[in-house]
Structure 1
């Protein structure tokens, strides 16, 4: 399977055999579902409920009758909202009274892919046969890691009849989750899906019908009860900050094993995984400081690399990201999202040098890496210098260079051009914002000259990123403003050339008509004067040039009065 989705395009020409239409006994369509086993259908909890009877029909298999179905209370996870208003749950497993043919079933697939193109099948109102809709996975949402789906067109927003329908990833042609809900109200732009690993956290029995690599190495999992270990609060806070995407994207740390620090890392990795984060273990840490609890879905892979080669590590990464045919590190730059990986025992890998080279490549491609070494020493020091301190210093240096460019080059260039030509009507606000950006950049450069070293530490890299974004935005605005004024200066030179070329010809024609020479000269002088005035008003000058050229094109004396 290539990453261009040829098989998905072909499969969208037909109704999937595994798609289930869920109905009331009298035939009213309630939603969709996924046939995981001959007698089990996965759907959204708001579509069905315990104590009711339903009918399940495979619309993609002609000739099959609807099958009675019910849902048990222990296999119904209703939608809930936490104190922040985030939704969770909304999952259910239907049990069929009569088994359907096994060849029509499908399996869920674990995939670290909260971005990229997908398709979903459902039953919008008035279309009981169902249809495919296209969408793009945008980002995880909330503490239950439900994922936003942006429709390819407004008409492909998932209607209620899509609830419970399977979501097929184009890169792998696998079912990676089910549709849950749609934004309510006019102008809604998103639907939501529950990815496979979130489904497994609520309904672990679904693992029997699931493929794909688990995110967390079994050696890095842990219970979170009080007897499992003692929480290292400062370290847990540092880890949670990294999992939230704060600070420098590469964190190099030393974690001896066993010990409280190792247990704290395992706790963070477990809680940050969609599949392993459950109501049970989140309840167990409810008394811990909230700043020590990472968000769910915060990493793609957590791997103990002791004894592994660099190629084996790359294979595990590729498997999690859905790369099947060519798992080379240089391909990661074109993936749908940056990789977030936790690698433990880096100094005990089979090929430390090769692994470090791979990690450097991944970091350049935008990966977020949490690298734990089992002991202090040269390997950890070298990794920190190569992946953290050296690139961080280079980024600060580039920021200073960008500030110098804005304040010492682009700012004076804009000022010079504003002295030479007036802005076009409607563009003055842009130029004023550009000049304001120069003033703010001078203030920022002065502030940075007195910034304490602690503000340049990796944990405070968010400050650097904010400055980079602001200075980049100011530079682009300045370049745009300078470009607009340069275009007006070029127009000024064109008009000067036009007037200069027209005057000798006009003088010869006007000389044949006596006093027309003086009239032409006055118009010529007026146009040249406006063009050479600083700052030049291009609109006024252009009007004067057109008046002069129009006068010169009039040959007969009687035409002078008309003009």
Structure 2
């Protein structure tokens, strides 16, 4: 457990023998410290000091070649490894050790401890876990403030999850160059894939049920390539988030599922098993860290399944499905033998609630039947049809309601300076929506299949942006129309007063009337140029103000024009048809 109000007793400061600080580490055992590989190298000597334990002397340490995993980059620039175990020449007190903790997809706030330049006592920095990065599933850390970006002195330091108060990984590196915004950590399960002996100092549930691992249940079979491709696509986050399939306990499909689950797990995916599939079609290989839990649910109740999910996600107490809605990263779970659960109907109800809260679910039934059919209808086909129907409704609203509403307003008022591009994009969105609606109406059924749901999600995003843009454009024009009504009311209210005050100044009445007619003409013009009309209104009102002050030469009252308007109640009310 780690209090963020003090220096943790397990944090190790790693130094050269002459006292220069190199980085940080985590004391996992009295004689073993976990750190980043770029901090230390085999064949060199180091000292380790527990800065949170006053009075303890520094201890000499070295690293063995077989416990040093240097950082590597693949052809895509993804980094992997960068992990090492330091062995101490003399043990430190066991009371100051800590343990790593397995935790599923990172989704919340964390703190890390390290030694920035000039602060040999160390400090906590806060961050938020963002997402896994690359094929080694290193995790991005976004600092809470720019000043909390991890510096080199944090390399190897422990990362503590706020929800569980456990050490869930270690800091590896920082983005290089100006404007860097992220640090990176290696989560516990990735550490275990590179340094399996660290499992002796690790707690937390493993992601994959032992019965679902390659070589544990079904005899080695041949790769079912179409099924493996479908599974890898789901693990990559493609298509509809729920995949319902039938996988017998034995045979090629069972072995193919075990292979996919094993390769998609951070801890189980190793150089050895990835080498074994190096000649398989690339589209059949899932990414590491692609699921949070793979569980055979045969004989389990719905409550027991929820408890396992909560344990993997670090949810303490009261594990309710609705709590998953607050997670930054949706749950991804593989559940096998769903039809053989202790309460299959209750479990399906639970899975329905999880899906509604954004969970990605791969549900394998042992045999086809009513429950598999119902699950596919409830969790896949029915919600998918509803999403397509909602998309069609949105397209109808854009093309039949918002588009015409925008056209009607553009006919009545010109856009404000600088907003024309927005209005033009909004109009173009109406045209594209009309074409999309026609395409959907004539598209073959396979375009709306679950595996093609990414197309639906793309359309939904585009249509949502178009709707918001149209609503914004209509709102801007509505504001200008309201301004036009205000100006009409202002002109109508000003004219009677102006006429009365200027009764003794004939030439001023004629001038005021000309300004009045000019302002009224511009306000009645369609589409109305609000800026020009407002300037004309200001001239008219300004002239009326000058008349009220009595400035300028007086003219005979007989010069007043016979066509001067009366009180003009219709104009004052702002009606378009006022004379």
Please report how far the alpha carbon of residue 224 of structure 1 lies from its aligned counterpart in structure 2 after TM superposition.
10
> Do structure 1's residue 535 and structure 2's residue 542 form an aligned pair?
no
> Do structure 1's residue 280 and structure 2's residue 280 form an aligned pair?
no
Greater C-alpha radius of gyration: 2
The alignment's C-alpha RMSD in Å is: 1.6
Runs in 1 of length 4+ with deviation above 6 angstroms? 224-227
What is the alpha-carbon distance in structure 2 between the residues aligned to residue 35 and residue 296 of structure 1? 27
> Do structure 1's residue 509 and structure 2's residue 501 form an aligned pair?
yes
Does the 8 Å contact 1:113/1:336 carry over to 2? Answer: no
TM-score normalized by the length of structure 1 = 0.96
Aligned partner (choices 512, 518, 523) of residue 520 of structure 1: 512
Q: What's 1:211 paired with? A: 203
> Do structure 1's residue 392 and structure 2's residue 409 form an aligned pair?
no
What is the correspondence of 1:450-469 to structure 2 with a 5 Å cutoff? Answer: 450-469=442-461
Does the 8 Å contact 2:501/2:548 carry over to 1? Answer: no
Aligned length: 554
Does the 8 Å contact 1:247/1:458 carry over to 2? Answer: yes
Q: What's 2:262 paired with? A: 270
Please report how far the alpha carbon of residue 560 of structure 1 lies from its aligned counterpart in structure 2 after TM superposition.
4.1
Please report how far the alpha carbon of residue 514 of structure 1 lies from its aligned counterpart in structure 2 after TM superposition.
2.4
Q: What's 1:314 paired with? A: 306
What is the alpha-carbon distance in structure 1 between the residues aligned to residue 549 and residue 326 of structure 2? 72
Q: What's 2:573 paired with? A: none
Point out the more displaced range, 327-336 or 408-417: 327-336
Deviations 1:136-156 (A, max 9, x none): 111100100000111111111
Deviations 1:402-450 (A, max 9, x none): 1111111111111110110000011111111111111111111111111
Does the 8 Å contact 1:122/1:132 carry over to 2? Answer: yes
Q: What's 2:421 paired with? A: 429
Q: What's 1:127 paired with? A: 119
Please report how far the alpha carbon of residue 559 of structure 1 lies from its aligned counterpart in structure 2 after TM superposition.
2.4
Deviations 1:502-553 (A, max 9, x none): 1111111111322222211111111111111100011111111111111111
What is the correspondence of 1:25-40 to structure 2 with a 5 Å cutoff? Answer: 25-40=17-32
Does the 8 Å contact 1:513/1:557 carry over to 2? Answer: no
> Do structure 1's residue 15 and structure 2's residue 7 form an aligned pair?
yes
Q: What's 1:351 paired with? A: 343
Q: What's 1:366 paired with? A: 358
> Do structure 1's residue 447 and structure 2's residue 422 form an aligned pair?
no
Tell me: CA distance 1:287–1:272, structure 2 relative to 1, closer, same or farther (3 Å).
same
Q: What's 2:283 paired with? A: 291
Does the 8 Å contact 1:53/1:70 carry over to 2? Answer: yes
Specify every segment of 5 or more residues in structure 2 that has no aligned partner in the other structure, as ranges. 554-579
Please report how far the alpha carbon of residue 558 of structure 1 lies from its aligned counterpart in structure 2 after TM superposition.
6.0
Tell me: CA distance 1:560–1:409, structure 2 relative to 1, closer, same or farther (3 Å).
farther
Does the 8 Å contact 1:201/1:276 carry over to 2? Answer: yes
Deviations 1:249-280 (A, max 9, x none): 00000001111101110110000000000011
Deviations 1:441-483 (A, max 9, x none): 1111111111011111000000000000000000000000000
What is the alpha-carbon distance in structure 2 between the residues aligned to residue 335 and residue 466 of structure 1? 23
What is the alpha-carbon distance in structure 1 between the residues aligned to residue 552 and residue 221 of structure 2? 100
Tell me: CA distance 1:224–1:258, structure 2 relative to 1, closer, same or farther (3 Å).
closer
Does the 8 Å contact 2:140/2:185 carry over to 1? Answer: yes
Does the 8 Å contact 1:180/1:192 carry over to 2? Answer: yes
What is the correspondence of 1:149-164 to structure 2 with a 5 Å cutoff? Answer: 149-164=141-156
